[in-house]
Structure 1
Amino acid sequence: MCGFVGVFDLKVDAKELRPQILEMSKKIRHRGPDWSGIFCDEKAILSHERLSIVDPQSGGQPLYSKDGNLALAVNGEIYNHMDIRNQMNGSYEFLTKSDCEVILALYQQKGIDFIDDLNGIFAFALYDKKNDCYLIGRDHMGIIPLYQGWDKHGNYYVASELKALEGYCNKIEEFLPGKFLYSKDGVVKEWYQRDWKDYENVKDNKTDMAALRKGLEDAVHRQLMSDVPYGVLLSGGLDSSVISAIAKTYAGKRIESGDEKDAWYPQLHSFAIGLEGSPDLAASRVVADHIDTIHHEVTFTVQEGLDAIRDVIYHLETYDVTTIRASTPMYLMSRVIKSMGIKMVLSGEGADEMFGGYLYFHKAPNAEEFHKECIRKLDKLHLYDCLRSNKSMASWGVESRVPFLDKEFLDIAMRINPDDKMCNNGKMEKWVLRKAFEDYLPESVAWRQKEQFSDGVGYNWIDSLKELTEKEISDEQLANAKFRFPVNPPMSKEEFYFRSIFAEHFPSDTAAACVPSVPSIACSTPDALAWDESFRNNADPSGRAVNAVHNDAYKEKVENK
């Protein structure tokens, strides 16, 4: 995981702007504490903060073509870089072993029409001096963050995090996933398009469990490329347990050698966090014993979580309630992971969106609505779980990888017949995934009910947050929220509390507009609230808000009006 800041279309002298870019870049150095690099030209500047995962010795950035014409800053990993290198057949002279250098080779060979050739997680900025043009791109799901902004002079900026642009840019926006900007065209275009987004193209498909299983195994295998120690996040839920179990089967060999040589760091370490006695800690221990990882349990107190909230909001750059609830324990765990010398982890994000794993999916009226909600969830994932996973880990210089969202596996999973994913006829949520991997896991875990991460770390965590914010924010403050916060007025006292802290870190309205603020139950989109009358009267993002589905549903009775 790295971070970069780039500025193009310069309206001021580059030498005068260079010190400012270095200051902006310093604000995201937590993402890349290993080395800093800068490219400065008359018409463009790229500053890069590196976290070295692949090729620590020669893969420093920005990267350059041999003739010095192309300069590239990348945050991410290109999992199929070896295949791309081999396809070049010597037509491009590589200067490093960095996985990201293939972007330069592809650009030189194909121009701008290469991004779908990449299987990885990435945000990049490429400058072509000879043609005085630049290319900005972001991965298919927004797993890696990227923002863009414009200052009072009209200079155009891109940066890995919002904080690098705040105070310098009058206008800030998220650079959306699956998009690219080529300066000669001057407009942002879509490079990631898939037929499975249309229900009509998947409704009659046959579900191939063997293909699903192999697809995920291949995705995990690809994403284990690393020249540094790595681990797995293991909450004890289905998703993280499946990823951890698959990773364990490959951990003994170095995948860069075609699995022929012993791994540099063959012992797989797993990590879990929770309050004392939490559901996740108990379940993760069962899985760790079953798959034989070196397991580390991190316990935190409610007070330690509350003390971290201000820092969490600064690093996550959000005031979304669910994200902050879940990010706080993840942020605390990341610090412990980094202290042990681990620089990369695999995580289980994405499965709930792909397979309809949230408990409210039990209320989906039909397969078409089920599939449409999965697509809506995937389209917004960059604002929630991708953001949480990336920034919680990156805050302490740890890279998070998400095999469920692997580009190739996504195509397999999203072409499954939606009717087979549905929670009907007594089937549990994510039944297809559970069935495909039940032999990897203990039965108690393979068929454990969905717990959202913010719930699984201990129910008292969310309950304490709600209790605190109920005391801190008055009814009058909430009623008048639209005057203090005209952009996305808070809808609950908890959101008001988080928003107040966010505004201290990021005071501009343009920063506030980068954050989502929508009604939800158990992480649903607003559209899914129409599925059940009780949803509209009990809109809380916790999974326990789904009455008659969660085993520990909130005890309050909800009156249907």
Structure 2
Amino acid sequence: MCGIAGWVDFDRDLTRERATVTAMTETMALRGPDGVGVWLDRHVGLGHRRLAVIDIEGGRQPMAAEDAAVLTYSGEVYNFRELRAQLEAKGHHFRSHSDTEVVLRAYLEWGEGFVTRLNGIYAFALWDSRREELLLVRDRMGVKPLFYYPLPDGGVLFGSEPKAILAHPRADRAVDADGLREIFTITQTPGTSVYKGMHEVPAGHLLKVRRQGLSTRRYWSLQAREHPDDLATTIHTVRDLLEDIVERQLVADVPLCSLLSGGLDSSALTALAMKHGDIRSFAVDFDGYADHFQPDEMRGSPDGPYARDVVAHLRPDHTDLLLDTKELTDPRLRSDVLRAWEYPQFSGDMNSSLYMLFRSIQGHSTVALSGESADEVFGGYAWFHLPAAVAAPTFPWLVVMMQKQRPEDLFDPALRKQLDVLSYERDRYGEALAEVPYLPDASATERRMREISYLHLTRFVSMLLDRKDRLSMAHGLEVRVPFCDHRLVEYVFNTPWSFKSFDGREKSLLRAAVSDLLPSSVLERRKSPYPATQDPAYGQALRGALTELVAGGEAPVLPLLDQEAVRKLLRAPAEDTSSTVTRISLEMVLDLNAWLEDQELRVDV
């Protein structure tokens, strides 16, 4: 999957800057443990850290072709064999068997329009030596990350992760008011970064860097189209698409596994993959979780029993990873997770357990299939089906996830007033709604459910994809997400909501499409999010960490806090600070402090 980095400067000779480009590239050694490469020309430096997945020997990068173009590439193009055949028919000759060379030669043949021919997950930088211009390209759904930092004199820094850009001496290490606003809400504004001056290439976009400046072009977006198929045909088409998608995504020259939770999404992928041969599967669980599980508004059942049903039914080579609270509360683990994601969060144990899952897979598999985006595509979350959330004039998930406590609740009232995160959310919501495509004669229900689907596919899933990418690539693991295939996304996006909920359940189409593959317990199970520990000791450990932070007196987050609110929380009985609700505020304070400290960031608000 790899990590890429680079620097374009039209006023400087970058052939003298190998040390700087190398330093940027080396920040992503964990993303690419199998090789490193740096390529320099007068006005450009390209870096690459390689995770070898296809053509182990022949896919080294940066890769050049005919002194015309050079590519540093991260990702996978699943239709590279078909594209290669087309290019060979047009006279191209290949030196390797890699998809990287196919991408490079596709550009030479078709120009920048070639990106519409790609099926895959990718983020790459392509330098055209003839035109002296750089193309930064990101896949349609934004599965693979790509950040950039415009320089005042017209150049640009870029990297798969912010840490690559921050390794450059000209990058400012600061977070501003909008960065804090993004951190304090559960939505992700396309094209933004939490770092001051830094941006992200939006999903489905191409950024061109020339002497004249930077320009952005959108090459893919969700469009409203009439759905001609009846329900039976729709179910059949979904199954056919999934069969093709999974088969394509099994191509690898390294060991591959599935991430199995016992939910409908991951179980379906595991079953489809096993039609092509044996596969390893991995699941995460908390020690004693199922025995002491208490249903709440988000989770109605533990994963473990259902994962075991799938294993008994399909017989994959399965491994359970059991976690305990002591591991989850280790401050070193929190630091490792933050260093991987580079983004403060308030779902600490879910991030930590996922990080530990990927760590345990390292050494066994290099590629994994994951069920991300099935809920966004097929309408799986509870708030798709709650009238209050559907009718709310904001992102529907906020109605459920922010109803009792917000992550900024422990912060200084003056700061909260200045940031006005609620207004920020309303503005971002309005911007998102303005993008939604509609069919002219759609009913009010269909229009609203199309809006909610669009919000999830463009604002919500990106956070989950970022989490999965950063935490997996920190262990040299490439995670593939079949439900993000743009053909499936486009088809189901234009399917009537009445089809998506035809049996009165969430994800009706997906359930019907894979009904012959899975045990009845999994097919009938209601949606349950990724597990979070219910051990009270976890919340108490967070409280203890906050107590130490306050007592130290020098933590960078302290000037940002509401001191009276913090004292009140620490005076409260221990059981009052062990709830999931309180953990939201505690984890935000601890994560933000660790992030500011680790990254040596300045707060500009």
TM-score by length of 2: 0.74
Match of residue 332, structure 1, among 322, 344, 356: 356
Distance change (3 Å), C-alpha of 1:5 and 1:175: same
Match of 2:222 in 1: 194
Distance 2:103 2:74 in 1: 12
The aligned runs of 1:251-330 (5 Å cut-off) are 252=277, 267-278=278-289, 279-307=302-330, 308-322=333-347, 324-330=348-354
Distance change (3 Å), C-alpha of 1:403 and 1:509: farther
The aligned runs of 1:54-93 (5 Å cut-off) are 54-65=54-65, 67-88=66-87, 89-93=89-93
Distance 1:240 1:121 in 2: 19
Question: Which letter does structure 2 place at the counterpart of 1:209?
Answer: I
Is the contact between residue 138 and residue 175 of structure 1 (CA under 8 Å) also seen in structure 2? yes
CA displacement 1:121-173 (0-9 Å, x = unmatched): 00000011122111110001110011111457654111011111225313222
Distance change (3 Å), C-alpha of 1:481 and 1:491: farther
CA displacement 1:205-227 (0-9 Å, x = unmatched): 64410001111111111111101
Paired residue secondary structure (2:329): helix
User: How far 1:406 sits from its partner (Å)?
Assistant: 1.0
Question: Which letter does structure 1 place at the counterpart of 2:473?
Answer: A
CA displacement 1:339-372 (0-9 Å, x = unmatched): 32x1100000000111121112221354432321
Match of 1:144 in 2: 144
Is the contact between residue 343 and residue 399 of structure 1 (CA under 8 Å) also seen in structure 2? yes
Match of 2:95 in 1: 95
Match of residue 418, structure 1, among 497, 520, 525: 497
Match of 2:588 in 1: 495
Question: Which letter does structure 2 place at the counterpart of 1:187?
Answer: S
User: How far 1:483 sits from its partner (Å)?
Assistant: 5.8
Distance 1:371 1:357 in 2: 14
User: How far 1:334 sits from its partner (Å)?
Assistant: 1.0
Distance 1:5 1:28 in 2: 9
Match of residue 484, structure 1, among 555, 560, 568: 560
Distance 1:152 1:303 in 2: 47
User: How far 1:69 sits from its partner (Å)?
Assistant: 2.3
Distance change (3 Å), C-alpha of 1:172 and 1:507: farther
Unaligned stretches of 5+ residues in structure 1: 253-266, 514-561
Distance 2:537 2:498 in 1: 39
Is the contact between residue 61 and residue 72 of structure 1 (CA under 8 Å) also seen in structure 2? yes
Is the contact between residue 8 and residue 156 of structure 2 (CA under 8 Å) also seen in structure 1? yes
Q: Which of 1 and 2 has higher RCO (CA within 8 Å, sep 6+)? A: 2
Is the contact between residue 8 and residue 155 of structure 2 (CA under 8 Å) also seen in structure 1? yes
Distance change (3 Å), C-alpha of 1:14 and 1:195: same
Distance 1:135 1:382 in 2: 25
Paired residue secondary structure (1:29): coil
Is the contact between residue 229 and residue 344 of structure 1 (CA under 8 Å) also seen in structure 2? yes
User: How far 1:41 sits from its partner (Å)?
Assistant: 0.6
Distance 1:485 1:105 in 2: 54
The two structures, once aligned, show a CA RMSD in angstroms of 2.6
Is the contact between residue 202 and residue 417 of structure 1 (CA under 8 Å) also seen in structure 2? no
Matched, 1:398 2:477: yes
Paired residue secondary structure (1:210): helix
Is the contact between residue 328 and residue 349 of structure 2 (CA under 8 Å) also seen in structure 1? no
Question: Which letter does structure 1 place at the counterpart of 2:360?
Answer: V
Question: Which letter does structure 1 place at the counterpart of 2:146?
Answer: L
The aligned runs of 1:168-183 (5 Å cut-off) are 168=168, 169-170=171-172, 171-183=197-209
User: How far 1:401 sits from its partner (Å)?
Assistant: 0.1
Question: Which letter does structure 1 place at the counterpart of 2:447?
Answer: E
Match of 1:45 in 2: 45
Question: Which letter does structure 2 place at the counterpart of 1:192?
Answer: W
Match of 1:354 in 2: 377
Runs of 4+ displaced beyond 6 Å: none
Match of 1:380 in 2: 459
Question: Which letter does structure 1 place at the counterpart of 2:361?
Answer: I
The aligned runs of 1:213-228 (5 Å cut-off) are 213-228=239-254
Distance 1:90 1:189 in 2: 27
CA displacement 1:296-321 (0-9 Å, x = unmatched): 11111112122212111110122132
TM-score by length of 1: 0.80
Matched, 1:431 2:459: no
User: How far 1:407 sits from its partner (Å)?
Assistant: 1.7
Distance 1:118 1:509 in 2: 40
Match of 1:7 in 2: 7
Paired residue secondary structure (1:459): coil
Is the contact between residue 373 and residue 461 of structure 2 (CA under 8 Å) also seen in structure 1? no
Is the contact between residue 142 and residue 381 of structure 1 (CA under 8 Å) also seen in structure 2? no
Distance 1:464 1:430 in 2: 35
Distance change (3 Å), C-alpha of 1:432 and 1:382: closer
User: How far 1:243 sits from its partner (Å)?
Assistant: 0.6
CA displacement 1:357-407 (0-9 Å, x = unmatched): 111222135443232112111112464111111111111101000000012
Counting aligned pairs with the same residue, the percent is 29
Distance 2:144 2:242 in 1: 20
Distance change (3 Å), C-alpha of 1:509 and 1:101: farther
Match of residue 523, structure 2, among 436, 443, 446: 446
Is the contact between residue 31 and residue 475 of structure 2 (CA under 8 Å) also seen in structure 1? yes
User: Which sits farther off after the overlay, 129-138 or 238-247?
Assistant: 129-138
Distance 2:490 2:40 in 1: 40
Distance 2:538 2:74 in 1: 33
User: Which sits farther off after the overlay, 408-417 or 287-296?
Assistant: 408-417
User: How far 1:90 sits from its partner (Å)?
Assistant: 4.2
Distance 1:481 1:501 in 2: 9
CA displacement 1:38-80 (0-9 Å, x = unmatched): 1111111111000110000111111111x23211000000000
Is the contact between residue 59 and residue 97 of structure 2 (CA under 8 Å) also seen in structure 1? yes
Paired residue secondary structure (1:31): coil
Distance 1:10 1:484 in 2: 40
Match of 2:266 in 1: 240
Match of 1:371 in 2: 450
Paired residue secondary structure (1:127): strand
Matched, 1:18 2:43: no
Distance 1:459 1:192 in 2: 42
